Amino acid sequence: MKQTTALVIVDAGGTLTPREYAREFVDNMSLVGMARMGYDAVTIGEYDLRNGAEYLVRLASENGVPLVSANVRDAATGKLVARPFVVVEAYGVRVAITGVLADDMTVRLARDVTESGVTVQPPAEALAALVPELRRKADFVVLLAHTGIDHAKELAQAVPGIDFLVVGSQNNYAARLFEVGTTQFLQPGYKGQYVSLARLRFSADRVYQGCEGEAVAMDDKAPVDASMALLVKEHKAAVERYGKERSAAQAQEQAQKRIAEHREACIGVEGSCRRCHQSQYEQWLTTAHAKAFTTLEAATQSTNPACLKCHTTCKTDLKQDGSEAIPEELRGVQCESCHGIGTKHARDGSFGTVSVATCMQCHDKANSPDFKYAAYLPKVKH
């Protein structure tokens, strides 16, 4: 028998960026990519409402991304802000897709936004009214639940008729499909690190015979689509240009502020350290620490807050919304990253002690899984 493959592609919410700056630029990129990949339905997560519902709905519409939600309503009119569901056909099978947002989630608004403009109906209440209709209109019902795993399990048990449930707002992933009652669960985790697949089996006369599936890692082994790779590359370069222009303006503003009011702060190796420690400075120039920022530039990631906190000096607590610029004099892993803030320099031998804990600020398991203190220290010691 000839095998036929048809894809239904969905996302359980959390599409838009938490960045404060260049957000529409970044959000459009995400939605353009989803439209190119042919997403059939995307639901709403709490981060998607950071800039208000009108912003989300407008961008989704402009980019042709089908937004569904059964319980996110306009605060003024009471109407749903998106379609309650879509029905798509794949291999002659009708699939109804809806989505919900947990009603106890807090929407953290962007700094210049005063309200999200929505109310959130209890998910079970909304689904109890909707799922019977979906069962009449489709062969399978899929729920995109931006609720976390515990609430998702409760929904599957409380609302009969949900065939497949995709869990959103859940950090960890499930390696395989699992069942709660009669509902098959897909749990892909977050940040796009995994994609959950469910493969449905049908007989020659299209009778459903069951399913299986697993989470697939989106790592270096995943096939690369040339057009998508080019899109991402061009986007990174554009964000890099924008970020550098913005950083330069902010750095100048911050420099003027430091002149106006003295405060304890990092001063940079060029600013002071090398005056008394020339030989150590010259040795540092030969290390990977000195080139830590240029490696980000080469990868077009020098405005990415997640990378900057460990590729710059004294920025391990860097805000992740992209609102803080990195002064040029603090780029790279300089003296103060390991030895402490220069304005607190003491000359009694107590300043600048380095320990394993010092290195582990950045060389943790997530970012440096092969780190061994005894092996790494000689590479930077002076």
Domain borders along the chain are 10-223, 263-380
Q: pLDDT per residue over 85-139, tens digit each?
A: 999 998 889 999 999 999 999 999 998 999 999 999 999 999 999 999 999 999 9
Q: Average pLDDT of the chain? A: 89
The yes/no answer on whether domain 10-223 falls in CATH 1.20.1600.10 is no
Q: Are 321 and 305 in contact (CB under 8 A)?
A: yes
Q: How does residue 146 score in pLDDT terms, banded at 50, 70 and 90?
A: very high
Residue keyed to tokens 């802000």: 81
Write down the H helix ranges in 138-225.
149-158
C-alpha to C-alpha distances, 327 to 53, 206, 276, 311, 358, nearest whole angstrom? 35, 63, 23, 13, 22
- Selected from 1.25.40.10, 1.10.940.10, 3.40.50.12590, 1.10.1130.10, the CATH number assigned to the domain covering 263-380 reads 1.10.1130.10
Q: How does residue 5 score in pLDDT terms, banded at 50, 70 and 90?
A: low
Structure-token pair, residue 338 = 């390991």
Structure-token pair, residue 168 = 């959103």
C-alpha to C-alpha distances, 86 to 75, 94, 116, nearest whole angstrom? 23, 10, 24
Q: pLDDT per residue over 176-229, tens digit each?
A: 999 999 999 999 998 889 999 999 999 888 889 999 999 999 998 888 899 999
Q: Give percent above pLDDT 90 in the chain.
A: 56
Among the listed ranges 28-37, 142-151, 372-381, which one has the minimum average pLDDT value?
Answer: 372-381
Q: What is the DSSP letter of 37?
A: H
